Amino acid sequence: MSHVPRTAGVLVALALLLVAFPGCKRRVPRYGKEFNEQRAQRGIPVIPDSWYISGGVFKDWTGWVNPVFNKGQWDERGGIRASKGVWYDGKQIVAEHDLYYSGRKYKCFDPDGGDDYEKMTVMYSYVAEREGKPAWTVRHDSSEQAASKELSVEEAQSMLRQWGVPQEDIPVLKDGAGVDKGDSL
């Protein structure tokens, strides 16, 4: 009667666990910095080398953060691109957004009170691009309105310039299916 050495049995058990629970392996971000060339072609701000993943890598979403914003080095006296969220499904990228802050605070409309920052979210929909529809959406939150307001390309261009957001962080907004109509921020 032969017997398997104890270490070999442990190795076999570990291999079976790894096969049985593949979700335990570390997720790799999809459409991260390696996708920057495609972003640049569409006028979408790229993910800089200094940015890092915030909150983890999920099945259908990854968040990236500007270290200047996240480590409290932002002095709140000017605009900043704070983060980027990237959504994807099993086979392709779905959308991404860049979040900007102006540096200005206002009293929150929430009944609990408190302060909030003026912000703008610039979204690019790859689904809309594939369908031949306008791919860009811009939303603005400020003290002037109780709810988020949609902005035109021209309004977003003017506002981001006024906030002092660095040029390399400002998207070139394109109309319909990612086709540049000459409007750039």
**166, 128 contact by CB (below 8 A):** no
Q: What is the 3-state secondary structure (H, E, C) of 69-103?
A: HHCCCCCCCCCEEEEEEEEECCCCEEEEEEEEEEE
Boundaries of every domain in the chain: 30-169
Place of tokens 């709140």: 76
**88, 30 contact by CB (below 8 A):** yes
Structure tokens at 58: 């999920």
Instruction: Give the pLDDT score at 76.
Output: 73
Instruction: Give the pLDDT score at 49.
Output: 96
Task: Please give the chain's pLDDT, 185 residues, in tens.
Answer: 445 455 444 444 444 444 444 444 567 788 999 999 999 999 999 999 999 998 889 989 999 999 988 776 776 778 999 999 999 997 899 999 999 999 888 777 666 767 788 899 999 999 999 999 989 899 998 866 666 789 876 788 789 989 999 888 888 865 443 444 434 33
Radius of gyration for the chain, computed over Cα atoms and rounded to the nearest angstrom = 22
Q: Give the total residue count for the chain.
A: 185
Closest Cα partner for 185 from 134, 82, 176, 165?
165
Taking the model in full, what pTM does it have?
Answer: 0.76
Instruction: Give the pLDDT score at 50.
Output: 95
**44, 33 contact by CB (below 8 A):** no
Integer Cα distance of 79 and 20 in angstroms: 48
Instruction: Give the pLDDT score at 26.
Output: 60
**135, 110 contact by CB (below 8 A):** no
Instruction: Give the pLDDT score at 170.
Output: 85
